[in-house]
Structure 1
Amino acid sequence: MPASSAYKIALSMAPATIEALVDGGYRLCAMFAIQMTNDAARPTVAFATPNIAPSMLIEWMPDVAAYTSNDPIVGGGLIKPGYQTPIAQGQTFFVTTGGGGDIKSGGPPSKISIANTTSIPFTSGFARSFATSETPIPIYAAPLYGNQTNVAVPLPKILLLFTTAAIKPGEMLESLAMRFLPAASYSSSLLVTAAQAQIRELSYDINLGWNWGSYSWAELVAANADFAKVLIERD
């Protein structure tokens, strides 16, 4: 796939902001949105780094992998794929014994299907990798019951935030509300709709927050927002 098809976000920060983030032990976290009608689906952290720099390029391809896991869907839990395979819209991942399986065409043209052909339940979803990482990380998790099919669509939307919480890639994160992470500091979140033809440029200030020129391709998300409602869009 040509490099021009990558999604890119250019984040800039002033020295005073960098100093405050580093001194506070903050890390930059990212989560992706998907489209799916399932109230049990939960978003997971796709990216988390303490390596804060004045200029940061967040880059990823539209490609995703379908995965299965035996890890339970619990708030704060870590989802580790037992099996994953590249998949495209219009294809179906037919899950067989052990969580592996085959990819076949013939599914809904604009959607991705994961079909469990066994009576054993799994946790399943999509995984995605950034330009700085090779291994795809789960971007959401949903229960895949026996003999059930889950249908979803990856969206070009990414949520960014800074927090001092020790969040890890693959961790389920329903909310940053005080009841969920009582001993942490965290910024407001910014939900960005990326575009393959244009780099989204934005900045962050430790006191003023996010600045993206107030363009329609981004919106602020409150720190105590329900991320499942923000990032799991109903079809």
Structure 2
Amino acid sequence: MGGNPRKLIVFTEHRDTLCCLQGKIGSLLRTADAVRAIHGGVRRAERRQIAEEFTKNRDVRILLATDAAGEGLNLQAVHLMINCDLPWNPSASSGASGVSIVSARRRSAGPAPYLDCAAAPDGAATGIVRGLPWLADAESRATSWIIANRLPDYLAEVQPRRLAELTRTRELVTRRLTSERERLLLDAATASEKERRGEKPRESSESLHRKAAELDVRLRKRIELLDRQQRMSTKPPRILTAALVLSLSDLPARE
């Protein structure tokens, strides 16, 4: 390709997705210098420096940015912009669907996980598409496909991480509340000894024992909540957004 190379910018909502893309794209291009990234952890001055390098350095071909960090970027040097996020989420609620009809020669453009498009205007072609017999159960079939082909990999990635987080939280909560309880019991023993000698402690042994018992209840309830969270099952995924893109040549003729 002659002249300056084409520039590509990729937006994502999530920093972990950005980091994953940065590693994979750099590996595919066999040079990490061709990819730059901007996210919330990058200082403003460094963001400007990265943006300028992306614009002026012909060797920097791809810029990755989270949505928030990418605000205000000058995109005049960009030839192609991509919104890169998975089109499904097991916990996503609400849904929308639309039909888009394109009158053009077809060619394979590869997977398109995220599309920004306007709904097709009402007309003869749109009416034909909406009457296609397989369209009625397209959403349920897509959901079934996601459950069979995507959800296992998602769970295999997320569940171990979630289990590790819950285990760590359980250890920290148990350690903190148990330590506080033991301190209260020690103070209660000291207060009880003073009371036996006829002295007045800063806080009565009865009050300190009551606080220690309350901590026992707090710890038990916290552990029960963590156990419930660990047993939570994943909700079935729901289609968040869908778009059907067809060439006019694919449409059946209206009789």
Please tell me the TM-score bracket, short chain as reference: under 0.3
TM-score (norm 1): 0.22
Flag the structure with higher helix content: 2
Flag the structure with higher strand content: 1
Structure number, greater radius of gyration: 2
TM-score (norm 2): 0.21
